[in-house]
Amino acid sequence: MATTTAEIQAFTASAFTTPEKFTSFCENGGAPLGGVIDGKRVLGSMNATFQTTDPGSQEVLATVCEMGEAEVAAAVDAATRAFQGDGVMGWRDLDVEERIALVNRLVELCDRDRDVLLACEIRDGGKVSELAEGDFTQIRECAEYFSGVARRIPMGDGPAMQVADDVQGFTYREPWGVVAGIIPWNYPIVLTSWFMFPALLSGNTILVKPAEDTPLSALYIAKLAEEAGFPPGVINVLPGRGEITGQCIAEHPGVRFISFTGSPGVGQAILRACDRHGTRMKREMGGNGSAIVLEDADPEVVGRLIGRYTNQHFGQTCCTIHRVFVDKKIADDFIDVQRSFFENLKIGYQADEGTQLGAVVNPTQRRRILQAQQEAASRGGDPILCGGVAEVSGRDGFYLKPALFRTTPDVDCNPAEVFHTFATVCAVNSPDEALRLANASPYGLGASVWTKDTQRGVELAKQFRDGTCQVNCHNSIAYGLPYGGQGISGGPGAGVNCEETFLDYTQVKAVYVSEYPG
């Protein structure tokens, strides 16, 4: 963490030059990029393509084939064969060290092609380099963490117990089989890694459904996986729209388990589809994170740090801070700092030096955000900065200004995730009032307390309903600690990035054994 106030800056872009290897991958010799099924590039029977663009310029980066019902069925067949091993040893039967060796090889190839994967995040995802570089490190960290977990967690037979005079029982832990990861657009590399490594290392074969706005990194990782030597069918990538490709995955009974990351509404719809045929599902969904700032906090330091988090990936970060509850004694000073931090954000193209607030991902998001800014005012929020459209010279992207509203405890002008550099600040009389208001949200992903009295902060933080509660920090994520949501933000399961995550990708059966009667 920065030590002086001036060092606390927003995530910032260094100038980024697109590598030739990325461009030639996207151009694909003039042909659209196909999905990856059974180790082959597949154009798809629907004969449908879509374009993936740079949100900061609307430049078309690549044309991608959309996968439909037939391709989902083919991918499930291929993944099933790869899991079971069509007459040879299947992925499920490989020794864990063999799976780890392939994962390590894939990670090495990702390291070799770091600049291509950074281009996926920066050009396709619209992210500034400071954040994209941090995201990239998650590939290795996640793979190494789950390799360790895979070595520790015993699969197969558990210890036997005598359940009756002549009956023994034991548990049997095994991978599900074919599992699918449905991924959103805001952190494609991170979230693909968080799904892919525990799912593969526990012995499943996978379908990856990237978001339609950011399909490139998953397609590139599939290419590297082939080079690494993964058997065909172990990793399949199915690009396409949610309501087409995603829906077909949710409706296919051969998919035993789905890991979904995205918005609560879509997660709820997929859960209903899955439930019709018994596919299990875990969901990591949106948030509307809160921060409580106590009287003893320095408004200058904390105001800037909260500004940095609120603006992380231009506010398009699921657990970040959008609702602030600040002691009334320091509220005016705090709001002044927040306003100044937001006003001074450098709005620009995400690959240009110094940019801190780039374009949002697509026109639908821009429309939603503009509407939410207006609704915040009409619901009684007092606009300190009212947002609106921003212009960036020479760039035709989806640029918006930050928005900041002052509210009071009786005004609920920020009920749902807005997903931009958008925050409401409410002056409160006490920490208890702040907690009550913070916990009144239906979401429950991330929350923090800011105070010099760390012990008091810990006591308060434990009272959030959120899955991740922090003191004097926010958006911290560590392997070994669960990252998951309460309320409409997640569930079931422990969340991601802990041992329980690995267990989520396995099923446990009970086996009873008795001697043959008579």
Q: Which residues bind ligand NAD (CB under 6 A)?
A: 182-187, 191, 209, 211-212, 242-243, 246-247, 250, 261-263, 266, 269-270, 284-287, 318, 417, 445, 485, 490
- Is residue 24 within 8 Å of residue 61, measured between CB atoms? no
103 vs 191 by CB, closer to ligand NAD = 191
Which of the residues 66, 284, 417, 499 is marked catalytic?
Answer: 284
91 vs 309 by CB, closer to ligand NAD = 309
Least Cα distance to 128 among 311, 335, 375 occurs for: 311
Does residue 473 have an active-site annotation? no
Does residue 226 have an active-site annotation? no
Residue 504 burial (C-beta neighbours within 10 Å; 0-12, 13-18, 19+): buried
Q: How far is the CB of 466 from ligand NAD (least distance, A)?
A: 11
232's tokens: 């065909």
Q: How far is the CB of 384 from ligand NAD (least distance, A)?
A: 24
339 vs 420 by CB, closer to ligand NAD = 420
318 vs 345 by CB, closer to ligand NAD = 318
Q: How far is the CB of 210 from ligand NAD (least distance, A)?
A: 6
Name the one residue in this structure whose structure tokens are 């100038």. Answer: 15
Which of the residues 318, 413, 426, 469 is marked catalytic?
Answer: 318
Q: How far is the CB of 265 from ligand NAD (least distance, A)?
A: 7
Residues 6+ apart with CB under 8 A from 367: none
Q: Which alpha helices (H) appear in 311-450, and where do they start and end?
A: 331-343, 363-378, 431-438
Task: Report the sign of the C-alpha dihedral through residues 358, 363, 367, 369, in that order.
Answer: negative
Q: How far is the CB of 185 from ligand NAD (least distance, A)?
A: 5
**Centroid of chain to Cα 334:** 30
81 vs 209 by CB, closer to ligand NAD = 209
- Residue 491: Cβ within 10 Å count: 20
98 three-class SS: helix
284 vs 327 by CB, closer to ligand NAD = 284
Q: How far is the CB of 160 from ligand NAD (least distance, A)?
A: 38
The HSE-up count of residue 30 (CA atoms within 13 Å, CB side) is: 0
How would you label 62-94 residue by residue, b for 16+ Cβ within 10 Å and e otherwise?
bbbbbbbbebbebbbebbbbbbbeeeeebbbeb
Query: Hey, which residues are catalytic here?
Result: 284, 318
